[in-house]
Structure 1
Amino acid sequence: MKHLPKHLQPRWRYLAVEIETWPDAEFERGAFQRDLWYAAQNLYGDVGSAETDLTVLSFDLDGGDGETIVRAYRGTEDRARAALATVDAVDGTPVGLRVRGISGTVRACEERYLNGRTGRGKQRDVVFENEPHPAVVRGTRVDVEGTDGFAGATRLDFE
């Protein structure tokens, strides 16, 4: 079977997406893909979701920080961004998603926007509500572990 000529092949755009969640969160690519499909389907319906054709190509989540590449048809980048904006939880775990950039090839997307920038946070003890608590420090963010789960803070909250 022959390939389609270049002018008939589908054109794709690749969105570099940053994932932020609690340090103890663990979910896989499949769970993220499923919740992204549900978000697109709830926002655009079956036909609009199929026209966008969101597919998660690569996925990396480690210690609450992650990154992924999402593929969409050319011309539907705004729809893809809107669908990503409606994802607020994956497998019941709250997440924050941020589109770092859009590219025409996977390689350019990785080199320009991702490039393995995720890194594990450092474990520290901090004083929170006048008592010592374990915390995960990631840049300017500090996630303090309490009895009810994590509480988000910044370094300014401790100075």
Structure 2
Amino acid sequence: MKHLPKHLRPRYRYLAVELEGWPDATLERGAFQRELWYAAQNLIGDAGSAACDLTVYGFTFEDGEGHAIVRVRHGETGRSRAVVACIDEIDGQPIRASIAGISGTVRACEEKYLGGPAEPPEERHVVFADADRRAHGRDERLDVRVGDGFVGATALDT
């Protein structure tokens, strides 16, 4: 069977998606793909979801941070960005998903928007709510362990 000529092949764009959760959160590619499809179906319906053709190409997530590369049909980047913005939890774990950028190739997407691996979160002890507690620091933000969960805070809160 012959390949289609280049001008007849479908054209795609690649979304660089940044993911952030609590430091003890664990995610897998399949769970993210499933949540992406559900969000698309709920927001734009079956026909819109099929038109976007959202597919997760690359996925990494560890220590509460990660990224994904999502393939999208060429004219559907606007609706696809809205779908990614609708994701707020995966497998019951709260997640922040945001678009870092859009590119025409996977390689350019990785190089331009995802860069290298993120620095691991700094672990330290802080005083929060009149008690000494463990915290994971990212940039100027802190995730303070309180009981079984975490509370987001800044340096001014501690």
By the TM > 0.5 criterion, same fold? yes
1:141, 1:154 within 8 Å by CA — same for their partners in 2?
A: yes
Matches within 5 A, 1:1-159: 1-158=1-158
| 1:124 alignment partner AA | R
1:88, 1:94 within 8 Å by CA — same for their partners in 2?
A: yes
SS of the residue corresponding to residue 7 of structure 2 reads helix
Aligned residues: 158
| 2:18 alignment partner AA | E
SS of the residue corresponding to residue 137 of structure 1 reads strand
TM-score, normalised via structure 1 length:
0.96
Of all paired residues, the percent bearing the same amino acid is 58
Which ranges in structure 2 are unaligned for 5 or more consecutive residues?
A: none
| 1:39 alignment partner AA | A
Between the aligned partners of 2:74 and 2:118, the Cα distance in structure 1 is 27
Residue 68 of structure 1 and its aligned partner are, at CA, apart by 0.8
1:140, 1:154 within 8 Å by CA — same for their partners in 2?
A: yes
TM-score, normalised via structure 2 length:
0.97
Q: Note the aligned Cα RMSD (angstroms).
A: 0.9
